[in-house]
């Protein structure tokens, strides 16, 4: 049983935050295994307490007011983290988070900051990609965070050449990543390695990084000996709500001047699960991927990533320069407003 605690005490505050999190977990009517794992790891409650808290009536504004003002933003960010854990932000979850923000007395700006922080800023900061160094990129991510159906950062893909690959892999290992899979492409010769790292406070989903190692001897923009980083960021992938219409999202971004280098590409695995992707135009060497998991009948996620899936992207990249050359100067300027041609990374230690 939970011990009653006095108003404004840390115990009360911690109970209210735990109840916020439990309400978010239950908001979409289902409690998924990743959510249970996150609850176990991050709510330090005695055995049975979560169940007891879950039986209490929904939090009122008076309950939320028991959280100290300086802890309210953190409480909302924690609730956002849990809502994003399965990459699927249900309308009920979004509605509940808006109600919490209001009940906590946070302004609309603070509420949207909390959302943006958990959806895009924190996952990138943890990889050394920060807003002050990359204003155009974060302007674009803000636009994405305001666009219905775009959920959060799914992964970042870096590129390097063979001579730097050992140093790059060591960098990711030092940050706690370990190799998950490897694919070789032949039409566009390269090795593609996926690396994962477990959950952390505030980012309650496994973090994913891709590393593409080119074996060609094409001249590089920066000679290896002068590199500050052993790799560069090639693309950021943003996950799309499974119920969203990719074409609607594409049209919304195009209205702001964002250009795309591919149509919506669709792949299916043998179990019927699908993966839909589209890629923005490159300007320079950087672009954004939008990826939508379409679960199969058994609810399983797409499990068909293979060299051919990756070749599709490289086929599009092969024609990217010609596409860019075909744009009018104003079309190029509109796209460049949103995306940088190169993303600055924090210096490696």
Distance of alpha carbon 341 from alpha carbon 53, whole angstroms: 49
- Say if residues 324 and 280 touch (Cβ distance below 8 Å): no
Q: Least distance in Å: CB of 149 to Fe ion?
A: 18
The single residue listed with the structure tokens 């490289």 is: 314
Cβ nearer to Fe ion, comparing 80 with 205: 205
Cβ nearer to Fe ion, comparing 18 with 262: 262
Distance of alpha carbon 148 from alpha carbon 125, whole angstroms: 23
Distance of alpha carbon 290 from alpha carbon 161, whole angstroms: 25
Distance of alpha carbon 346 from alpha carbon 129, whole angstroms: 6
Q: Least distance in Å: CB of 3 to Fe ion?
A: 48
Distance of alpha carbon 296 from alpha carbon 289, whole angstroms: 22
178: which strand partners? 196
Give me the residue whose beta carbon is nearest to Fe ion.
237
What is the longest distance spanned by two Cα atoms in the chain?
A: 68
Q: Least distance in Å: CB of 152 to Fe ion?
A: 14
Distance of alpha carbon 190 from alpha carbon 193, whole angstroms: 10
Cβ nearer to Fe ion, comparing 290 with 338: 290
Cβ nearer to Fe ion, comparing 13 with 289: 289
Q: Least distance in Å: CB of 54 to Fe ion?
A: 37
Cβ nearer to Fe ion, comparing 42 with 301: 301
Distance of alpha carbon 158 from alpha carbon 93, whole angstroms: 33
Extract the tokens encoding 156. 């970042």
Enumerate binding residues for Fe ion (CB under 5 A).
Answer: 157, 237, 289
Q: Least distance in Å: CB of 157 to Fe ion?
A: 5
Cβ nearer to Fe ion, comparing 157 with 239: 157
Phi, psi (degrees; rounded to nearest 5) at 162: -45, -45
Q: Least distance in Å: CB of 236 to Fe ion?
A: 8
């Amino acid at each position: 049983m939970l011990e009653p605690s006095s108003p404004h005490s840390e115990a009360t505050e911690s109970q209210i935050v735990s109840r916020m999190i439990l309400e978010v977990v239950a908001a979409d009517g289902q409690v998924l295994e990743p959510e249970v794992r996150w609850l176990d790891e991050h709510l330090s409650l005695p055995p049975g307490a979560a169940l007891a808290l879950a039986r209490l009536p929904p939090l009122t504004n008076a309950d939320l007011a028991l959280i100290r003002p300086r802890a309210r933003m953190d409480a909302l960010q924690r609730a956002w983290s849990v809502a994003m854990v399965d990459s699927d932000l249900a309308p009920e979850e979004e509605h509940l988070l808006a109600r919490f923000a209001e009940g906590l007395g946070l302004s609309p700006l603070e509420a949207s900051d909390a959302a943006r922080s958990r959806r895009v800023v924190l996952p990138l900061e943890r990889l050394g990609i920060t807003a002050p160094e990359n204003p155009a990129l974060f302007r674009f991510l803000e636009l994405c965070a305001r666009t219905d159906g775009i959920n959060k950062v799914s992964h970042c893909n870096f590129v390097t050449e063979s001579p730097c690959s050992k140093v790059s892999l060591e960098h990711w290992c030092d940050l706690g990543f370990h190799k998950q899979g490897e694919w070789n492409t032949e039409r566009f010769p390269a090795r593609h390695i996926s690396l994962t790292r477990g959950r952390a406070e505030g980012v309650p989903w496994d973090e994913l990084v891709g590393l593409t190692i080119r074996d060609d001897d094409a001249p590089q923009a920066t000679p290896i000996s002068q590199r500050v980083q052993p790799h560069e960021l090639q693309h950021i992938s943003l996950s799309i709500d499974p119920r969203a219409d990719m074409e609607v999202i594409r049209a919304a971004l195009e209205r702001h001047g964002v250009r795309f280098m591919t149509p919506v590409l669709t792949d299916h695995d043998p179990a019927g699960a699908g993966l839909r992707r589209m890629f923005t135009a490159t300007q320079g060497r950087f672009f954004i991927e939008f990826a939508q998991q379409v679960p199969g009948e058994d609810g399983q996620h797409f499990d068909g990533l293979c060299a051919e899936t990756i070749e599709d992207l490289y086929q599009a990249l092969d024609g990217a320069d010609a596409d860019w050359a075909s744009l009018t100067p104003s079309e190029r300027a509109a796209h460049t407003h949103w995306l940088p041609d190169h993303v600055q990374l924090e210096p490696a230690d």
